[in-house]
Amino acid sequence: MIRKLIGRIFGRKPKPGDHPDTWVKRHAEVFRASELGLDLQAVSHAAMRTCESLQQAGFAAYVVGGGVRDLLLGRRPKDFDVATNAPPEEVLKLFRRARVIGRRFQIVHVHHGRDLIEVSTFRAIQADAQTDAHGRVLADNVWGTQEDDAARRDFTVNALYLDPVRDQLLDYHHGVRDLKAGILRIIGDAATRYREDPVRMLRVARFAAKLGFRIEDGTRAPITGMADLLRHVPSARLFDELLKLLTSGHALASIQTLRAEGLHHGLLPLLDGIFASESGERFIQQALSNTDARIAAEKSVSPGFLLAALLWPQVLAAWQPRVAAGEHPMPSLLAAADAVLDQQSDRLAVQKRFAADMREIWSLQLRFERCTGGAPLRLLEHPRFRAGYDFLLLRAQAGEDCAALSAWWQSFVEGGDSDRTDLLAQPPGKGAPRARKRRGGRRRSRSEAQGPPQPSA
């Protein structure tokens, strides 16, 4: 309809050289962004420059997606994406450090100093899009108008276009209204949108948790019945989206939302296992809330560590019976680790380097039990020591039966040479950690001040 209207006004579908206004819908709601409380100064220099350069070359260029949404909410955006009517080859010509990424969905990465801006060309709505047998859209590189592009985005609050040069915000789907009301609403017919791209169901959980928004009823309704479609998504894509969810700073709330929506079961073996036992659930809750706290403190999180934590209850469940049956602990731990990783691999492409990290973190747990002789000092030199050690602290924090061991290692890590000599002479027993001799005049270590890690309630 709108395309027809534009066609009538301009006689044909707009083409790359046309005036930028040809590409934007005449009756989008138009706001002055600053009047909505959006701080234009918070738009990154790189995003601003990208828009300016494209506009100066005669193209339309807008900041879009999470950057705009988060600015309107007064939050600091993670990154900025730019949408334009310039096709990738034109974008490439304008920037010295730019390259095309992706095949199914091509975008241009534009680098300004250390900043990266993802520039995507407005996508057309394709009535005859190439899909797989389940309706999933396979190729998506047909260019369209901004209106098309907006209709193809996932949620109304993710489809706001900011022209940071003109201080203008274009809203095609009442995203501003939903944003003010705290509603997460999918654009178009929810079932159709999930069939086109089942990953959008995971995105519902991520954004509802991250934004603290209510999931609109029509957006929620089809999810439970359609969760199975996620099985046909390539495992690498699923892994990427799951990682976004786990590192969103709201991992715990996202996983709880997935559970509430019935998406945790049968979706990924990884999520199936999470709620399998009470102790496993407590461990994972602790891991996720620690991760969220790290992100809030702007610390890095390692995917290997996170995945090692999510799968640890399953590793334990596979390992303990082997040890009970008399197998040697280390080979049986490695065998349990491999069995758990194998079980994941057909649904979730855990990249090899992460899988290697995970194996090391798990096997270090057993090596921590040797607290005498030269072993502890040698372990300090292990390249993954820090991750393994943090993992041990997490286990103790979650109430696993390793409080004494964890306290011993904390003292060993933080202590000086003579503390370490004392500690090597007093390896931890089961149960309460042994009292340590304190020598006059020496600074108390942090672990002494805090005591052993407390099991979670």
Catalytic residues: 79, 81, 154
Exposure on the CB side of residue 317, measured as CA atoms within 13 A: 15
Hey, what amino acid is at 278? Answer: E
45 contact partners, CB below 8 Å, separation of at least 6:
112, 115
Residue 153 lies near ligand ATP (rule: CB under 6 A): yes
Residue 77 lies near Mg ion (rule: CB under 5 A): no
Count of residues that bind ligand ATP according to CB under 6 A: 11
Residue 249 lies near ligand ATP (rule: CB under 6 A): no
Residue 249 lies near Mg ion (rule: CB under 5 A): no
- Closest to 453 measured CA to CA, from 388, 404, 387, 415: 404
| CB nearer to ligand ATP: pick between 139 and 380 | 139
Query: Please, which of residues 28-87 interact with ligand ATP by CB under 6 A?
Result: 65-66, 78, 81
- The least CB distance from residue 181 to ligand ATP, in Å, is 18
360 binds, among ligand ATP, Mg ion, none (CB under 5 to 8 A by kind): none
Calpha distance 76→352 (Å, rounded): 33
State the residue number with the nearest CB to ligand ATP: 66
| CB nearer to ligand ATP: pick between 122 and 283 | 122
**Could you please report the per-residue DSSP string of 188-216?**
S-HHHHHHH-THHHHHHHHHHHHHTPEEP
Calpha distance 363→221 (Å, rounded): 43
Calpha distance 391→378 (Å, rounded): 18
What sections of 15-169 are H helices per DSSP? Answer: 45-56, 66-72, 88-94, 146-152
- Contact segment (CB under 6 A) with ligand ATP among 9-17, 196-204, 308-316, 426-434 equals 196-204
- The least CB distance from residue 160 to ligand ATP, in Å, is 9
Residue 66 lies near Mg ion (rule: CB under 5 A): yes
Residue 197 lies near ligand ATP (rule: CB under 6 A): yes
Residue 200 lies near ligand ATP (rule: CB under 6 A): yes
Q: Which residues face 122 on adjacent strands?
A: none
415 contact partners, CB below 8 Å, separation of at least 6:
423, 445
Task: DSSP letter for 265, please.
Answer: S
- Contact segment (CB under 6 A) with ligand ATP among 163-171, 192-200, 214-222, 424-432 equals 192-200
Q: Which of residues 140, 154, 171, 178 is near ligand ATP by CB under 6 A?
A: 154
Place of tokens 């309630």: 457
Task: Give the interface with Mg ion as residue ranges (CB under 5 A).
Answer: 66
Task: Give the interface with ligand ATP as residue ranges (CB under 6 A).
Answer: 65-66, 78, 81, 153-154, 158-159, 197, 199-200
